[in-house]
Amino acid sequence: MTDNIVEFKNVSVDFTQDKKQIKAVSDVSFGIPEGQIFGIAGYSGAGKSTLVRTVNLLQKPTSGEVDVFGKPVYKNTDGKVEIIDEKQLRTERRKIGMIFQHYNLLSQKTVQQNVEFALKHAGLKEKDVAAKAKSLLKDVGLSDYTKHFPAQLSGGQQQRVAIARALANDPKILISDEATSALDPENTNQILDLLKDLNQKRGLTVILITHEMDAIKRICDQVAIMDAGKVVDLGSLIDVFVKSTNPVTRKIVGGDFDAFSILKSLNIDTKNRHLVKLIYFSQEISKPIIIELYSKFQIAASIVYADIEKFRDEAVGIMIVDLNGEETQRKQAIEYLQNLDIEVSELRGEA
């Protein structure tokens, strides 16, 4: 048994265009745990949408298998990918909601009617349809806008309607494909916070496809980085954004935690110095470590570089310091820092 709500197993998707073969997704295997907000990030054309479209049956893989809700939706039999029990899958598909960059609302219908439209096949009585749409619109903060038409709403509000509509059939998974890409930073953050709220209150698993790293950093539990059809990195935000040394990841996630390139950009050489990189988390941020290194070990630490970033609710600091003092004292200082749960790595070599 697995707790993964989605499992990709050696999934590849090829397209043929102008007689040329495009490997949009290439041998991808990983799982998305139930109840998480899982980010899939990468440049445009990396294969993010194509991969995720296999989850809700919009794209059949060329090879490999995909399990959703613990059951295969595509199965590889004798080298042929088959859709399993199509009728049942239609029902399963309703448990997957989707929002896009373009809200695709019906312009002639009110906000309330747009949501009611998605409840057409839910088997509810008319008055229950109206009540459910109203309650969904309340959940997305649009109680005062039920009678408005889409054109009377801001982009952020229209995306909220799209979210209410996507939730109409009580999905267990919500796929957000670049849903905030057309919004300004304030509306982007509001929509992301709404997704986080829905994730927490409803236990909704959210798959967030985006090229915006700030979106990932704000709400995701885990992130997969895709490049040229492959998953090149996967893990917690700290693993990927802070600790990964994968050159493709570093390029995509930005925010340079790679000490040597920081030093290079600052024209600082590492010869004849005792440089260490410190990575520390919220609980250590207010500790006066530089003063303590001096008072306890007579190590004069000069700060070469310092930065602080926020990942979800966790602040992460990075500092590169030059430890000036006796070798024995330096070793003790490093041990002392490690005991504080600060990650210490000594930097050797030239910048």
Do residues 50 and 27 touch, judged by C-beta distance below 8 A?
A: no
DSSP notation for 148-165: --GGGS-HHHHHHHHHHH
Would you say 187 or 210 has its CB closer to ligand ATP?
A: 210
Indicate whether 48 belongs to the interface with ligand ATP (CB under 6 A). yes
> Could you say whether residue 77 binds ligand ATP (CB under 6 A)?
no
Q: Which two tokens stand for residue 194?
A: 């709404």
Nearer to ligand ATP among residue 205 and residue 210 (C-beta): 210
Q: Is 44 in the site for ligand ATP (CB under 6 A)?
A: yes
What is the smallest separation between the CB atom of 101 and ligand ATP, expressed in angstroms? 9
Q: Which residues pair with 81 in a beta bridge?
A: 76
Shortest Cβ distance from residue 177 to ligand ATP (Å)? 7
Residues 46, 226 contacting (CB under 8 angstroms): yes
Binding flag, residue 17, ligand ATP (CB under 6 A): yes
Which residues, numbered 171-200, are part of the site for ligand ATP (CB under 6 A)? 178
Least separation in angstroms between CB 10 and ligand ATP: 17
- Binding of ligand ATP by 49 (CB under 6 A): yes
Number of residues that bind ligand ATP (CB under 6 A): 13
Region binding ligand ATP by CB under 6 A among candidate stretches 42-50, 133-141, 144-152, 250-258: 42-50
Residues 249, 225: Cα–Cα separation, whole Å: 7
> Rounded distance, CA 303 to CA 308, Å?
14
Q: Which is nearer to ligand ATP, 230 or 274 (CB)?
A: 230
Q: How many beta carbons lie within 10 A of that of residue 90, not counting itself?
A: 10
**What are the angstrom distances between the C-alpha of 127 and each of 130, 155, 167, 323?**
5, 29, 18, 71
DSSP label at residue 255: S
Q: What residues make contact with ligand ATP under the rule CB under 6 A?
A: 15, 17, 22, 24, 42, 44-50, 178
